[in-house]
Structure 1
Amino acid sequence: MKYPLKSLIAALSFLSLSAYGCILYSAPTEPSTSTLKANARAKADISKPSEGLIRLKKDGKWGYVNQANQTVIDFQYDHARDFTDGLAVVENGRYGVIDKQGNAVIGFDYDYISDFADGVAIVEQNNQYGLINTKADLLTAINYDRIARMSDGFFVVKQGNYCGLMDNTGQTITPIYYEYMRADFSNGLIWAVKDKKMGFIDKSGKVAIPFIYDRLSTNFSEGLLRAEKDKKWGYIDINNHIVIPFLYHIADDFSDGLARVSDNHKFGYIDKTGSVVIPIIYNHAHRFKNGRAEVVLNGESFYIDNTGKRLD
């Protein structure tokens, strides 16, 4: 069954994620470019030594001194960052990159430059984004609406209303046709939405869990994923095998080996085999934490242990 867009957005709300267009992040949100700029400017007027140099502010301008307090790079920048791998991002109205002698390795051509990681940085010009290496080579055209860095040298890129996966050479691994894509990995896989259905891809862009689910948790919990089809929840494994059938109106991630489920407006707990460990009798229930969970039965609230025994 196909869902309209507003239903898809409502479905996404249960993920507790924050979004930039089609790119999703675990809360708290990855900082926006403006936030990153503000954070950089809010740093103290002197830094700890970084690769033998200390970033220092003097008379409203930033420069670098050595540990003998001798000026190595003149105080000339509006903002400056610490050195990493012999390079530092600095700003004088626009952003560039200098080496430890103060030479401009990357010209002041950009509205923003992220920190380098694995020799690659995200750059911004006129609200468009691209990738650049430490030799000032553009790895991509600067024509993406947003780029989000992942781990292991991967990026999620956004053009228009769609996202795709890119590596740190600037090669697109998938077409840019996903409605949503999460900018991190879970068990080595990436959660995404295509044609209003949810699934996972792997680092090569191959579909690992097919896009057949109306809702699908973005992270594995204790080796399993919550999934919804035809308004019922169940659990699948990394190979898309159904471990627990689609039986429940509500289902939570596993915690301490148990998951809260609901059927006919009552709550209880199942284990990872799908066996009901604590009867589905409660008017409300919370997840287990540190071996206990709060439940409500007939208007009374109390705690139970992982066998269902009341804790007074």
Structure 2
Amino acid sequence: DTLKYKILSIENGITMNEKEYDGLATLDGKYIQVRQGENWGIFDLSENKEIIPCQYFHGEKQSGYSVHFCPDFMIKPNEELILVLNDGLWGYINKSNNLVIDCIYEKARPFSDGMAAVYQHFYWRFINSDGEFVGGKYEEVLDFKEGMAGVKEFDKWGYINKYGIQIIPSRFSEAKSFAEGLAPVAFKNKWGYINEMNETVIPFRYKWAYPFNDGIASVNDYGGNGHIDKNGKWIDYEEYKQDNNTYHNYEAERWDALTDGMEGDYPGSGVDYDLLGF
């Protein structure tokens, strides 16, 4: 028998509603992605109903495993538009399942901070919720977070604002999104942190660095992995976690897929099977 997953609505110990699916993929917030057969939809946990039917995205399978993956989250918490795939091209619908932005893009990402990254004719661009282009054409882009997005031009990274104005020049070899007012960037192959004014807050001395989460960040200083605070001071993560009653997620863009009895992590940029741990 095929393994099934159920979403139950229980009030005062009584099951009021029950929905059955072939697979689930968790998402922070009120939504959960659900799968029937090969296709995915969205279930609104707060409203206890399926708001988008399982008709978008054909589930992917890795050779040798029976796990189905949704290519990317269709919607992020607090966003109004939902990423969909139709006949190989990407567009956006609203929560009433009405097409708002035509499926014309070769690649696309879910809306983030009110903006979405789309790929067409060899370049990445940003669109707003009206489908209007903002900013220029870029080799690569990061999602908007805290009002800014990383963009790559001429093999270097910088940042633009929601008006498409470049506020941090393209001079970094690598970059990640802003979080808690700081962004990890690499200059001459060493990572450090800058603020929104393009000021170096933590010097370029790390082999790699992740964005801050709950006041701490994961880094490697060529001698080993560890955690730092916003002053660049090394801290004991276990002690910090207990004192602050918090959990630090090394990668903010991850979700757990639970399908066919197997579970794995999936970064928002695509399935990374090295992280799955099967």
User: What TM-score bracket applies, with the shorter chain setting the length?
Assistant: 0.5 to 0.7
- How much identity, in percent, do the aligned residues show? 22
Paired position in structure 1 for 2:53: 122
Q: Is 2:154 the partner of 1:223?
A: no
Aligned to 1:259: 183
Change in 2 beyond 3 A, CA 1:242/1:39: same
2:122 to 196, 207, 210: 196
**How far, CA to CA, are the matches of 1:179 and 1:241 in structure 2?**
25
Q: 1:165 corresponds to which residue?
A: 92
- Unpaired runs of 5+ in structure 2? 22-38, 59-72, 237-278
- Quote how far apart the aligned CAs of 1:292 are: 6.2
- Three-state SS of the structure 2 residue aligned to 1:186 is coil
Q: Point out the structure with max Rg over C-alpha.
A: 1
Q: Which residue of 1 aligns with 2:168?
A: 244
When the two structures are aligned, how many residues end up with a matched partner? 197
Contact 1:149 1:156 in 2 (8 A): yes
Contact 2:218 2:225 in 1 (8 A): no
CA shift in 2, pair 1:155/1:311, >3 Å: closer
What letter corresponds to residue 262 of structure 1 in structure 2?
A
Q: 2:135, 2:164 within 8 Å by CA — same for their partners in 1?
A: yes
Q: Which residue of 2 aligns with 1:72?
A: none
User: 1:251: Cα distance to partner?
Assistant: 1.5
- 1:115 to 1:187, Cα distance in 2 relative to 1, 3 A: closer
Match of 1:286 among 203, 209, 213: 209
> Once the 2 structures are TM-superposed, how far is the Cα of residue 247 of structure 1 from its aligned partner?
0.3
Output the aligned Cα RMSD. Answer: 4.3
What does residue 175 of structure 1 align with? 102
CA shift for structure 1 position 48: 2.6
Q: What is the TM-score when the length of structure 1 is the normalising length?
A: 0.49
Tell which has more relative contact order, 1 or 2 (C-alpha 8 A, sep 6+). 2
CA 1:122–1:244 in 2, change beyond 3 Å: closer, same or farther? same
Aligned match for 2:139, one of 214, 232, 246: 214
Go from structure 1 to structure 2 and tell me whether the alpha carbon gap of 1:244 and 1:172 turns closer, same or farther (over 3 Å shift): same
**Normalised by the size of structure 2, how large is the TM-score?**
0.54
SS of structure 2 residue aligned to 1:122? strand
Maintained 8 Å contact 2:228/2:234: yes
Structure 2 vs 1, CA of residues 39 and 266 (structure 1 numbering), >3 Å: closer, same or farther?
A: same
Cα gap change, 1:246/1:149 in structure 2, threshold over 3 Å: closer, same or farther?
A: closer
Q: CA deviation at 1:176?
A: 1.8
Deviation for aligned residue 1:234: 0.6
Q: Which amino acid aligns with 1:215?
A: E
Q: Supply the distance in 2 between the matched residues of 1:90 and 1:291 (Cα, whole angstroms).
A: 39
Structure 1 residue 274 corresponds to structure 2 residue 198: yes
Deviations 1:219-247 (A, max 9, x none): 41x32211111110011111111111000
Please report how far the alpha carbon of residue 296 of structure 1 lies from its aligned counterpart in structure 2 after TM superposition: 1.7
Deviations 1:255-296 (A, max 9, x none): 34332222222233222111223333x252423452566452
Unaligned runs of 5+ in 1: 1-34, 56-80, 83-88, 92-110, 128-146
**SS of structure 1 residue aligned to 2:177:** coil
CA–CA distance in structure 2, aligned partners of residues 168 and 259 of structure 1? 32
Which one-letter code corresponds to 1:247 in the other structure?
Answer: R
Instruction: State yes or no: 1:39 paired with 2:1.
Output: no
